[in-house]
């Protein structure tokens, strides 16, 4: 078949083997808590997820006389405020096409020009579509943004950029096809479709560090800092209209994502809870969030915000309860359920992240990862698998047990298959069973992000997703902004330390005929420094920034650059090749 993912889904539906291993299964249930599923064998997506996603209808929603909210038009919401002679824009979406669609709908109501832009924060899904709004505008309009907005951009573009993007793209379902065999959305809107977005060609020109009240084109506005997914974050309040733009702060119509599986150190649930209380105190007629549905019923807003605040406090307090009583996060997850008022509220269902993930993330931030018998006595996963597989009866017994549970308990089946792959990464049968089980689990989970992650992992492992190619463009743009020393320092995380025992080698490298730097491998690390005339060098290299960027974006290795003369070496060819071979 042309689609390996579809083939595996087809295979999954046919995996219904039985075997008499109940006693063995019960004897090992302490290894991982079984999570059996009760769903039709031909189910391709959780019906509750599909019903929820079907309510997320894209459109431009008019609020009062002069506010328009672009709702579900792409991954992120944004809005327009109509002044006496022009339009004030609040955020701009992520990709050009959905933003252009929203602008087209706006133009059915008004042809007034854009006169100001306000960014709630500088995540790219809130500014990437700006060209679709300002393509015909001059560059002299004011652009408001949070003070120190550069910190948000720097956080995105740091050394972890590729890993962060990969996790985010997987979470949102970006690399997957749309439909029942791929992404069905992400719980807060549709899964974005990848296209080139703006690289912040309209950065903030006015930084807001404290609350400010102003009037723009006859519209009274309060712009003030308020905690969101990042500390550098603003809210926009229209006091006359009682409409609140909250960006990526938790006054959303969904379960509050106070933590995220892709991991963001800066999120502070306590400050987010204070933000929700601020929204309650403002008592808005409408809230336009950065994601999920626009809230425009005042009584519903108060109820939902009160429950959101209490949910955040519940997550905070219960993590502290277990941590302070020396009980593990596993104990917490085995004991705690969501409060009934939250668990039964239709708008607070965790269709986005799993609430258990948020508890785990909060616990790690609070206590670290070592505070329990199982932590102090843990093996790494490879050592544990090497002991566990024989204890369960050997490879054939484990693969049979995994296969048997693909349909009824796919989470357990996938873990069993993973133990086999940890002992033998070339076990193709175990890999296929893990993929089948992962697909099955994706078909029944109520978390759209979990579904996207699992299907994304299967597609990536099958070769259907190439993140190096997908992310090369934006990462190259970020790397091009670095100075030479910072660019070369990115090579440090590519050193293969386990091959560098007792190595002491120095390359003097000149970039683009400018400044020279010493690249020294010593003590299993790479040092990047100014040239030391007293230090003996292995060789002198000359190359370009373009070549280093190509290496850092996996277009070629240092060894390949050396062999094809993109790096010119003056010194021993053998030692140069040895140096280059120590890098991924």
The enclosing domain of 531 has a CATH number of: 3.30.1050.10
Question: Is there a single domain that holds both residue 213 and residue 79?
Answer: yes
- Whether residues 56 and 14 fall in one domain: no
Clarify whether residues 424 and 547 are in a common domain.
Answer: no
Q: Residue 575: CB partners within 8 Å, gap ≥ 6?
A: 505, 538, 539
Asked, for residue 322, whether it belongs to a domain, the answer is no
Say yes or no: 505 and 523 in one domain: yes
Report the Cα 389 to chain-centroid distance in Å: 33
- Of 246, 280, 300, the position where a domain reaches its end is 246
Identify the pLDDT of residue 106.
97
Whole-number Cα distances in Å, 243 to 67, 220, 249, 281, 439: 8, 11, 15, 13, 42
Record the tokens describing residue 574, joined without a space: 């053998």
Q: Say if 143 falls within a structural domain.
A: yes
- Helical segments of 46-95, H only: 47-54
- Tens of pLDDT along the chain (584 residues)? 344 444 344 444 443 333 333 333 333 333 334 457 778 888 999 999 999 999 999 999 999 999 999 999 999 999 999 999 999 999 999 999 999 999 999 999 999 999 999 999 999 999 999 999 998 676 789 999 999 999 999 988 999 999 999 999 999 999 999 999 999 999 999 999 999 999 899 999 999 999 999 999 999 999 999 988 899 999 999 999 999 999 999 888 889 988 887 777 778 999 999 999 999 999 999 999 999 999 999 889 999 999 999 999 999 999 999 999 999 999 999 999 999 999 999 999 999 989 999 999 999 888 887 778 888 898 999 999 999 999 999 999 999 999 999 999 999 999 999 999 999 999 999 999 999 999 999 999 999 999 999 999 999 999 999 999 999 999 999 999 999 999 999 999 999 999 999 999 999 999 998 899 999 999 999 999 999 989 999 999 999 999 999 999 999 999 999 999 999 999 999 999 999 999 99
N- to C-terminal Cα separation, the chain: 34
Does residue 520 sit within a domain?
Answer: yes
Last residue of a domain, one of 200, 221, 246: 246
- Both tokens assigned to 142: 């004011």
d(Cα 433, Cα 544) in Å, to the nearest integer? 46
Position 3 scores a pLDDT of: 46
Burial 172-204, CB ≥16 within 10 A → b, else e: bbbbbbeeebbbbbbbbbbbbeeeebbeeebeb
Please state, in angstroms and rounded to a whole number, the distance separating the CA atoms of residues 308 and 423. Answer: 44
Angle subtended by helix axes 428-444 and 448-461, to nearest 10? 160
**What six digits make up the tokens of 479?**
């790397």
Which residues, listed in sequence order, are joined to residue 509 by a DSSP beta bridge? 517, 541
CA distances from 533 to 508, 514, 536 (A): 10, 17, 8
Side-chain-side CA neighbours of 54 within 13 Å: the count stands at 7
pTM of the predicted protein model: 0.90
The reply to whether 386 and 512 lie within a common domain is no
Q: Is residue 298 included in any domain, yes or no?
A: no
Q: How far apart, in whole angstroms, are the C-alpha atoms of residue 473 and residue 165?
A: 12
Residue 364 lies in a domain: no
Give yes or no: residues 94 and 132 share one domain.
yes
63 shares its domain with 194:
yes
Q: Phi/psi of residue 42, each to 5°?
A: -95, 10
Can you give the residue range of the structural domain that contains 409? 4-49+379-444
Same domain, 436 and 491: no
Residues 19 and 138 in one domain: no
Is 536 in contact with 507 (CB distance < 8 Å)? no
Are residues 75 and 139 located together in one domain of the fold?
yes
Same domain, residue pair 491 and 416: no
What is the pLDDT at residue 267? 84
User: What's the burial of 136, exposed, middle or buried (CB within 10 Å: 0-12/13-18/19+)?
Assistant: exposed
- Are residues 187 and 119 part of one domain? yes
Inside any domain, residue 552: yes
Query: What is the CATH classification number for the domain harbouring 170?
Result: 3.60.15.30
Which pLDDT score, from 0 to 100, does residue 233 have? 96
Which residue, 247, 249, 266, 257, is CA-closest to 151?
Answer: 266
466 is a domain residue:
no
Total number of domains in the chain? 3
Tell me, yes or no, whether 406 lies in a domain.
yes
Of 215, 206, 172, the C-alpha closest to 192 is 172
Domain boundary among 195, 216, 246: 246
């Amino acid at each position: 078949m042309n689609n390996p993912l579809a083939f595996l889904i087809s295979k999954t539906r046919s995996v219904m083997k039985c075997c008499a291993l109940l006693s063995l299964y019960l004897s090992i249930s302490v290894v991982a808590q079984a999570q059996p599923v009760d769903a039709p064998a031909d189910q391709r997506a959780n019906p509750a997820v599909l019903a929820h996603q079907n309510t997320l209808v894209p459109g431009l929603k008019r609020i009062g006389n002069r506010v328009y909210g672009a709702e579900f038009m792409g991954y992120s919401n944004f809005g327009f405020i109509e002044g006496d002679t022009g339009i004030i824009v609040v955020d701009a979406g992520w990709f050009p096409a959905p933003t252009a669609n929203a602008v087209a709908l706006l133009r059915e109501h008004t042809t007034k020009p854009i006169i100001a832009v306000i960014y709630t924060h500088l995540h790219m899904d809130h500014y990437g579509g700006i060209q679709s709004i300002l393509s015909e505008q001059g560059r002299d309009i004011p652009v408001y943004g949070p003070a120190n907005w550069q910190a948000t951009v720097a956080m995105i573009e740091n050394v972890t950029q590729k890993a962060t993007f990969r996790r985010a793209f997987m979470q949102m379902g970006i690399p997957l096809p749309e439909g029942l065999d791929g992404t069905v959305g992400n719980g807060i809107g549709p899964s974005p479709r990848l296209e080139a977005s703006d690289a912040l060609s309209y950065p903030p020109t006015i930084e807001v560090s404290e609350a400010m009240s102003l009037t723009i084109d006859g519209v009274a506005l309060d712009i003030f800092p308020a905690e969101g997914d990042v500390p550098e974050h603003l809210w926009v309040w229209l006091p006359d209209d009682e409409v609140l733009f909250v960006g990526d702060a938790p006054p959303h119509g969904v379960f509050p994502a106070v933590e995220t599986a892709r991991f963001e150190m800066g999120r502070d649930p306590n400050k987010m809870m204070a933000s929700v209380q601020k929204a309650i105190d403002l008592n808005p007629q409408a809230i336009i969030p950065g994601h999920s549905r626009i809230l425009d019923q005042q009584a519903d807003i108060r109820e939902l915000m009160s429950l959101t605040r209490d949910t955040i406090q519940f997550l905070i307090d219960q993590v502290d309860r277990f941590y302070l009583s020396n009980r593990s996060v596993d104990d917490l997850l085995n004991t705690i359920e969501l409060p009934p008022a939250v668990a039964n509220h239709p708008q607070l269902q965790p269709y986005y992240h799993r609430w258990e993930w948020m508890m785990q993330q909060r616990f790690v931030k609070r206590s670290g990862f070592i505070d329990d018998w199982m932590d102090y006595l843990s093996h790494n996963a490879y050592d544990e698998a090497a002991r566990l597989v024989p204890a369960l009866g050997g490879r054939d017994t484990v693969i049979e047990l995994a296969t048997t549970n693909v349909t009824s308990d796919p989470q357990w089946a996938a873990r069993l298959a993973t133990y086999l792959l940890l002992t033998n990464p070339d076990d193709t049968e175990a890999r296929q069973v893990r993929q089948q089980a992962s697909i099955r689990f994706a078909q029944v989970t109520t978390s759209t992000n979990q579904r996207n992650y699992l299907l994304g992992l299967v597609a990536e492992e099958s070769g259907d997703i190439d993140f190096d190619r997908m992310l090369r463009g934006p990462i190259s743009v970020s790397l091009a902004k670095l100075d030479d020393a910072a660019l070369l320092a990115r090579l440090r995380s590519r050193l293969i330390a386990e091959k560098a025992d007792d190595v002491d080698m120095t390359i003097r490298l000149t970039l683009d005929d400018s400044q020279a730097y010493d690249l020294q491998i010593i003590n299993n690390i790479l040092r990047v420094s100014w040239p030391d005339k007293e230090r003996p060098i292995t060789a002198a290299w000359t190359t370009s920034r373009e070549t280093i960027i190509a290496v850092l974006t996996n277009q070629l290795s240092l060894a390949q650059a050396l062999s094809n003369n993109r790096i010119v070496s003056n010194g021993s060819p053998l030692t140069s090749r040895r140096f280059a071979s120590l890098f991924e």
